[in-house]
Chain A
Amino acid sequence: MAGSTRLAIALSALAYILAGLPFWWKLTEVYRVPLPYREVEGFVTKQSSSSAARVHCQLQIVFFSKEETPDRDAKWSDRLEVVLRATREWSSSGFCEIEVAVTLDAKGLCLHKRGGDRAKPLWECGRVLDSLHSQDSTSIDESLKNYIGEDRAGKYTILVLLDGELSQGGGAEAVVGKYRHAWVVFPPSLLGNDEQLTRIISETAGVLLAGGKPATAVAKTMPLAADGSAILSFSLLNADPENWIFNWDFDSVESQYLSPVVDALAPVARLSVESQVLYYTPAAARSQWNADIRSHVIESKDLSFFVNANEWHLDTSAAAAGRSKVLHFAIYVPPVEECPLRIKLSSGRITSSASIDGFTSPGWGGVVIWNPPGCLVADNSTLRQRLNVNDLKTTMEVVVAQLRTLFGLPPVPPRRKAPKLSILCNQRTGFAEWELDLLLRRRVIADVNSTASTLASLLKLVESLPKMVIQQEIGVQVTTSLEAAEKAMDAGNASYQVIGNFSATAKAWAEEAFFHPSIMSLLHFPKEHQFAMYTPFFVPVLLHTVISVVKETMRYARKSSRK
């Protein structure tokens, strides 16, 4: 029929357009790699629910006596039970899942009480401990280290010495060593006072596990880059190299002082060291001459403006890639007109040559003012001096203290009076082993938290932009990060090194995925724009096609109804 041809033509034109619709839909799809939404969600809920202690740690408290004790089994059993319960409150503060075991190792008596895993090996009673009399703390520390034997990250021992050979003045005294053990000298005369015993053991356990402070719920962020590294940038600043010009032998300084510290901190952070010497770097704060102490003094409120960012070009590291973290350590040599330069603290006290002229700024680094000894003023000639390791010894002590502050530890381990507790310093590395464990635990918790929040927000972003291309690389990064984070969380009794590696990997890959340069959110197309984009293409054609179909259909219908 004549009419059907025209209808067929009109319909085929429309059919062609309609058949193209699914192809248009498929072709305007963007490549998005499938991301593990459900797994990430599961991980985030799991992580936020059990947000407290996760890394394992073990505390062993041993009551040691070479002689027989006056109290009998039952009394000791109760005492051990009381001590066991008292130390459990420290578990959440040290960011570790703690297992406590208490043992009495006396002559003829060996009692154990434990709070956790029955399968763990216990203290071996009856071993001989050499006399500790007339030894100073450092050698007692070494002797006890050899006596205790096993030295594993996460395993701590408190030895309560009941013999009385070490007690001076009759009071109880605790010393935390620089490895992973502490000892409490508890004279037999005080043995009836259970409360004092529990308190001193509790305080010691608190220091060993948590640095002595109950921590807040969220671990403090460490001054590290996303991949767990940081660059320690040392600058020797000559404020005014007219009368004196200082240089330094940094190679020796680094190998003697800094390399042990960097090596010790290796499980916690990957540090690298660089140095420079700068000239003509005056401070931005003016000092006042104080005739009483014959020094130039900077007020504490001016300290915030001491760092002169215009003249101190500290951030010129060639090794610092875009997303690295740089911690600056500026050793400032004042000009001869301002020597000696001291700081007046907010309390009114002025630092003297016996104390420290230095300050830190969290996340930035630290400044140490190095006054040349005696403010040696040469005659009119310029003094040129190359500082060697001995000249910089006290400065390096301050630098280590500042590094500890930046990482969240007290610059010098504090002494306590009641109960009497002292903490030994690690002369070689600047960090005690238990402090390194503490930092590692803090970093692991911070990394896992950060991974969870980063992955969650990345996936939320990806979902909110359905037209954004997600490259395959991002999928790999997200999967790797998630796997590593789950392994870090379910590590059980794996070594601290392994857990640290997993959490660092998790955070590094999560950050890589989130900050991938291809994720640009410049893709908001409001409805008006989409409308304006498509209507000029389709409306004219569709209009004519649809009208012709309608007309031909009506004509065909009329013709067929007439026939």
Chain B
Amino acid sequence: MAPLLLLLPLLLLISSIAPSAMAAPAHTSNWAVLVCTSRYWFNYRHMANTLSIYHTVKRLGIPDDHILLMLADDMACNARNSRPAQVFNNEDHKLNLYGENVEVDYRGYEVTVDNFLRVLTGRHDPAVPRSKRLLSDESSNVLLYMTGHGGDQFIKFQDAEEIQSHDLADAIQQMHQKGRYREILFMVDTCQASTLYSQVYSPGVLAASSSKKGENSYSHHLDMDVGVSVIDRFTYYTLQFLEGVRTDSAATLESLFRVYDPRLLMSNASFRDDLFRRKLDEVRVTEFFGSVMDVKHTPSGYSGFTGDPTRRSDRRRSEGEAKPRREEREATAAAAAAASELEVGAGDEGDWVLGVSCLLIGVTTVLWHKALRTD
């Protein structure tokens, strides 16, 4: 241990000399799962929060097919919206969040705890299309942003159900076991937000929240034109910081977390990095909020490749060959099902139980009848 400790200052010295020469990111793709868990007009600010983060990650390079946006999506065309088809996050109305190129993957009543957990764990119905799946692998960085109404160890989904911190921690553990992420940045903007990630136990998770247990998170300002609050404080200051970040910025997460001032937020923003392998001043913001495609130049073609010029009209043949393979698999499954000897389900036992309980009720009734008659 001692020689390693001696090396540490040396390493710090070297890293400080060349600040822009940070280690090349080891992740090869970026994904973002942005969830707005509220619906109804008075929760306008939650949708504005989520859409602002959506536009930020898009600007910094994450493509739409790597973003999973879950919104109730009932603000823009709401009857109460004085600016129809427009959603703002600031009373100056400079930026219309709902303008162009917004791809919502789960909207309206599709934003449920069930769907959210399915997105994280990957256990979808086979019919769910690729655009609605989190197709990350073991070298993907995932940004998970949730906003809405929350409480101690839970967050509310669409005013109808809730997800607990234990279930979320289990889902993240499932992701870890199946190699669905390399690192996760989990940001929550709700009341008592830090309790939501308190149960996470998987490695590689960095979590940040807008408030601690027992504290509320507050909205930033009210828009007199729209009539409701349009942005939350935590997200507002996050966006303010991210506005200065470009795709090649060297801004670190450490500097992002230093921006949160408890007096301005009216709550204590906190973060959890005990499960995270790296130090926060070595992690760039763009490693989670942006995306860098890992490219390698192809030095030469496979020279002399001619293919098979005699095969010009043989396309039908390759289509015909595909079918036997599928049939093979189905035959294997059927054979496996037939050959396996598994116990039959609980049906038989249920009948037996029902019969005995009827008998018991009958016996007890007779006994009571007899007992009451003698008195």
Residues of A within 8 A of B (CB): 2, 5, 8-9, 12, 15-16, 19-20, 23, 26-27, 29, 31, 33-34, 221, 251-252, 254-263, 270, 272, 300-301, 303-307, 309-310, 315, 320-324, 326, 343, 345, 351, 355-356, 358-364, 366, 368, 393-394, 396-398, 400-402, 404-405, 411-412, 425, 427-428, 430, 453-454, 457, 460-461, 472, 475-476, 479-480, 483, 505, 508, 514-517, 519-522, 524, 526
Contact = CB atoms under 8 A, between A and B. Distances in A.
Given A252-B312, A305-B293, A322-B124, A356 B375 contact: no
User: Of residues B178, B307, B315, B345, which shows the largest number of chain A Cβ atoms within 10 Å of its Cβ?
Assistant: B307
B170 A524 contact: yes
Interface string B278-307: 000000000000001111111111111111
A256 B311 contact: yes
A401 B298 contact: yes
- Give the top 3 A-B pairs by smallest Cβ distance, nearest first: A309-B63, A397-B301, A257-B307
B300 A428 contact: no
Interface string B356-374: 1100100010011001101
A272 B322 contact: yes
A27 B353 contact: yes
B320 interface: no
Contact of B340 (A345, A355, A398, A479): A479
B128 interface: yes
Contact of A522 (B114, B296, B336, B337): B114
A437 B281 CA distance: 46
B368 A9 contact: yes
Interface string B157-180: 000000110110011001001100
A34 B305 contact: no
A27 B346 CA distance: 9
A425 B306 CA distance: 11
Contacts of A301: 248
Contact of A257 (B122, B303, B305): B305
Given A304-B294, A457-B178, A524-B170, A428 B342 contact: no
B137 interface: yes
B299 A16 contact: no
A270 B324 CA distance: 12
Given A315-B65, A401-B300, A517-B126, 4 more contacts: A23-B356, A306-B295, A401-B302, A476-B336
B189 to A, nearest CB: 23
Contact of A322 (B130, B170, B171, B325): B130
B61 interface: yes
A516 B337 CA distance: 17
B303 A425 contact: yes
Given A257-B307, A358-B298, A516 B123 contact: yes
B312 A412 contact: no
Contacts of B133: 322-323
User: Of residues A29, A304, A405, which shows the largest number of chain B Cβ atoms within 10 Å of its Cβ?
Assistant: A304
B324 to A, nearest CB: 12
Contacts of A411: 298-302
Given A12-B371, A524-B166, A472 B305 contact: no
B20 interface: no
Contacts of A400: 301-302, 305
Contacts of A522: 113-114, 117, 163, 167
28 contacts: A23-B353, A34-B342, A255-B312, A258-B307, A259-B307, A259-B314, A260-B311, A272-B322, A304-B292, A304-B294, A355-B300, A356-B298, A361-B293, A394-B301, A397-B301, A400-B301, A400-B305, A411-B298, A411-B300, A411-B302, A412-B302, A453-B177, A457-B178, A460-B177, A505-B332, A514-B178, A517-B125, A522-B113
Contacts of B28: 361-363
A515 B302 contact: no
Interface residues of B, number: 85
B315 A461 contact: no
A359 B371 CA distance: 91
A482 B195 CA distance: 40
A324 B130 contact: yes
A307 B294 CA distance: 11
Nearest to A483: B336
Given A324-B130, A359-B296, A402-B298, A476 B123 contact: no
B29 interface: yes
A366 B298 contact: yes
B127 interface: yes
B239 to A, nearest CB: 21
Given A272-B322, A304-B295, A520-B123, A476 B333 contact: yes
Contact of B296 (A262, A405, A515): A405
B171 A521 contact: yes
A19 B167 contact: no
B349 interface: yes
B247 interface: yes
A309 B301 contact: no
Contact of B167 (A9, A34, A320, A521): A521
A427 B304 contact: yes
Nearest to A303: B295
Nearest to A458: B177
Given A23-B353, A255-B312, A270-B325, A428 B126 contact: no
B172 to A, nearest CB: 11
Contact of B174 (A258, A304, A521): A521
B281 to A, nearest CB: 23
Interface string B237-258: 0000000000110000000000
Contact of A359 (B164, B170, B298, B309): B298
A360 B305 CA distance: 19
A364 B131 contact: no
B114 A360 contact: no
Contacts of B92: none
Contacts of A453: 177
B67 to A, nearest CB: 10
Nearest to A2: B375
Given A255-B311, A362-B28, A520 B117 contact: yes
Contacts of A398: 298, 301-302
Nearest to B122: A515
Nearest to A307: B293
Contact of A404 (B170, B302, B372): B302
A305 B340 contact: no
Given A401-B301, A517-B123, A472 B311 contact: no
B360 A16 contact: yes
Nearest to B132: A322
Contacts of A300: 297
B353 A256 contact: no
A412 B300 contact: yes
Contacts of B318: 259, 262-263
Contact of B306 (A323, A343, A428): A428
Nearest to B352: A26
B295 A360 contact: yes
